[in-house]
Chains A and B, each alone.
Chain A
Amino acid sequence: MTDATATAAPATDTRRAGRFLYLAGVVVLCAWVIVPIYFLLVNTLSSPDTVNSFPKPFIPDFDLGSLAFFAKFAGMLTALKNSVIVAGMTMILSILIGAPAGYALSRFDFAGKELFRLLILLTRAFPLPLLALPLAVFFIRTGLDDTTFGLALVHTTLALPFAVLITFSLFSGIPIELEEAAWTLGCTRVTAFTKVVLPLILPGITASAIFAFVISWNEVFAAAVLTIENRTLTAFLLQNLDTSPLHLKFAGGFILVVPALIFIFAVRKYLFAMWGIANR
């Protein structure tokens, strides 16, 4: 008896130490992410003098002047709307087109599979600014020029590798037996897919959606070349920021960051959709 309690005590100690280490780790990693963003916020909410001063303050003086400038900057709202539309279309297109391919890659062995996978990856390995010229000529000639849809098509090209490969990796984690069981129980291929597999890969779809949205939102070169009247917020604002005064750089940067952060916040729990559900 005493032996058991004697061994139980050090075990609880190590467990407590382990738990403390774990919590400390979580806190440190959260701080590591948040502190630089906090600095961005501080500089956004500071007067121009404070932004250029030394030492830098850790509490902002809540000077809304920099943000107010952008409130009066003509064209912001239309650009914001365009950005949201383009990002939304990119999300939908990349998932609709990419998920079937991810499924095919994980379930089937077909001739040309490796080549296909390489092609998908190639698209991210070549810089878009170099491809923008032939794409722009193509768009001007086919009437896709200066449309949110046209830009969404280009952004989808950037987001497809993520959509395909993430859904591939998730489908690979779902045993085929699950689907086969559903077939034997009377489901067609399609219903088996939608009722059994789809809920399990919801985290993958969410991850693909996040990447698609963020990639489209932050893309500046193609947006600046392919949209004029229908500029996205990033094309409209980001190009002008790097030559602007420091306090406006921060405020503008902050404004560009916020919608993406809101979107990720909205979908965060879907990354865990079927957490812990025993899938056997």
Chain B
Amino acid sequence: MNARILPYVLILPVTIFLCLFFLYPFILVAQLAFTTGAGFTLDNFREVVSHWKFPISMRNTLLLAGIVVPVQLALALLMATMVTKMDKGRDMVLYVWTIPLGISDLAAGLIWLAIFEQSGFLNTMMGALGLVERPVNLLTFQNPVLVFVAIALAEIWRATAIMLVILVAGIGLIPKEYYEAAEVFGASPWKRFVRITLPLLRPSLQTALVLRVILAFEVFAVVQALGGTLFPVLMGETYAYQFDLLNSGAAAAMALIILVISIAATLVILRVLRVPKGATI
């Protein structure tokens, strides 16, 4: 087959699929953001941005993503490297570390609420260890920092496996000879990690980071379970507009704002972690 049209043939199924099942409904919904029944208008955006909760939810979402994602990246890299060094028991350890993948975000919220609530497991443990006399009320509006920490912990627990799986899949292709050669030349484990693993893992890093960041801007279920009404995030506000206030125009506007932020972050990551052309090593 002609090598010029081959790539287009290969991406044709995906393109058709996404045009039909994503682009088509997306265009219909995105239109709503620009109409209020009286023709083209930016009123929906104005309404959404001027609500008192908007800057708060924007700040919360960006803060949460900005703290959780780097921690998860470091943790996932650490876990991926650890797992490559194992021989026996490697399967089991990797399995354990990918368990959170199978847990829906609603179930994860439930579990972590059971840990952090006043009559929950953390208080039980602290009481048993004698650290506190009576159960501490952690998730209250008087402790916004604690609420944030609880949410961040739950999110780190839940979503690190996403990046881990992608990195593990990619790390297996790094030729062992490189490490052996580096050891012969006296390179320390850290140097080997930074000079061999990271660069060769670039495509997987790029994929893992981009996918995780996009999902991080859409965080909702765990935040609602642990933070209640204390920690508004962009996606929660979007759903409120759509299902409580029955305002699809405003909801579409919010969703487009989240989309723009996601695209911006994606472009930055794609630029910083450029995969060299041909991607051969």
User: Is A195 at the interface (CB under 8 A from chain B)?
Assistant: no
Give the contacting residue for A210; candidates B25, B86, B101; CB below 8 A: B101
Residues of A within 8 A of B133 (CB): none
Say yes or no: A173 contacts B107, CB within 8 Å.
Answer: no
Say yes or no: B106 contacts A242, CB within 8 Å.
Answer: yes
A198 to chain B, nearest CB (A): 13
> Can you name the residue of chain B whose Cβ is closest to the Cβ of A163?
B14
Residues of A within 8 A of B56 (CB): none
Residues of B within 8 A of A119 (CB): 15, 18, 23
Stretch of A68-76, A78-86, A254-262 at the chain-chain interface: A254-262
Residues of B within 8 A of A242 (CB): 106
Residues of B within 8 A of A250 (CB): 110, 114
Say yes or no: B251 contacts A130, CB within 8 Å.
Answer: yes
Residues of B within 8 A of A58 (CB): 124
User: Is B121 at the interface (CB under 8 A from chain A)?
Assistant: yes
Say yes or no: A260 contacts B79, CB within 8 Å.
Answer: no
User: Is A10 at the interface (CB under 8 A from chain B)?
Assistant: no
Give the contacting residue for B85; candidates A22, A131, A241; CB below 8 A: A22
User: Is B28 at the interface (CB under 8 A from chain A)?
Assistant: yes
Give the contacting residue for A121; candidates B17, B24, B210, B239; CB below 8 A: B210
User: Is B39 at the interface (CB under 8 A from chain A)?
Assistant: no
Say yes or no: B176 contacts A278, CB within 8 Å.
Answer: yes
Say yes or no: A131 contacts B14, CB within 8 Å.
Answer: no
A256–B105 alpha-carbon span in the complex (Å): 12
Say yes or no: A172 contacts B172, CB within 8 Å.
Answer: no
Say yes or no: A165 contacts B18, CB within 8 Å.
Answer: no
> Chain A interface secondary structure, helix, strand, loop or mixed?
helix
Most buried by A among B127, B174, B275: B275
User: Is B60 at the interface (CB under 8 A from chain A)?
Assistant: no
User: Is B168 at the interface (CB under 8 A from chain A)?
Assistant: yes
> Can you name the residue of chain A whose Cβ is closest to the Cβ of B210?
A121
Give the contacting residue for A135; candidates B25, B242, B277; CB below 8 A: B25
A224 to chain B, nearest CB (A): 13
Stretch of B40-48, B62-70, B92-100 at the chain-chain interface: B92-100
Give the contacting residue for A249; candidates B110, B175, B255; CB below 8 A: B110
Given the interface pairs A100-B11, A160-B14, A175-B281, the reply to whether A272 lies near B99 with Cβ below 8 Å is no
> Can you name the residue of chain B whose Cβ is closest to the Cβ of A27?
B93
Interface membership of chain B positions 155-197, coded 1 if the CB is closer than 8 angstroms to chain A and 0 otherwise? 0010000100110111011111100000000000000000000
Say yes or no: B135 contacts A54, CB within 8 Å.
Answer: yes
User: Is A55 at the interface (CB under 8 A from chain B)?
Assistant: yes
Interface membership of chain A positions 106-141, coded 1 if the CB is closer than 8 angstroms to chain B and 0 otherwise? 111110000011111111111101110111001000
Interface residues of B in 242-281 (CB under 8 A from A): 242, 248, 251-252, 255, 258-259, 262-263, 266, 270, 275, 277-281
Could you name 17 residue pairs across A and B whose Cβ atoms are closer than 8 Å? Answer: A52-B119, A54-B124, A55-B124, A56-B119, A97-B13, A106-B279, A125-B258, A125-B262, A131-B22, A134-B28, A156-B17, A157-B21, A165-B211, A166-B166, A169-B170, A234-B104, A271-B165
Q: Besides the contacts A120-B14, A271-B172, A278-B176, what 9 more A-B pairs have beta carbons closer than 8 Å? A: A33-B97, A43-B114, A54-B118, A98-B14, A154-B21, A172-B275, A203-B168, A214-B101, A272-B91
Q: 3 smallest A-B Cβ distances: which pairs?
A: A260-B102, A172-B279, A54-B119
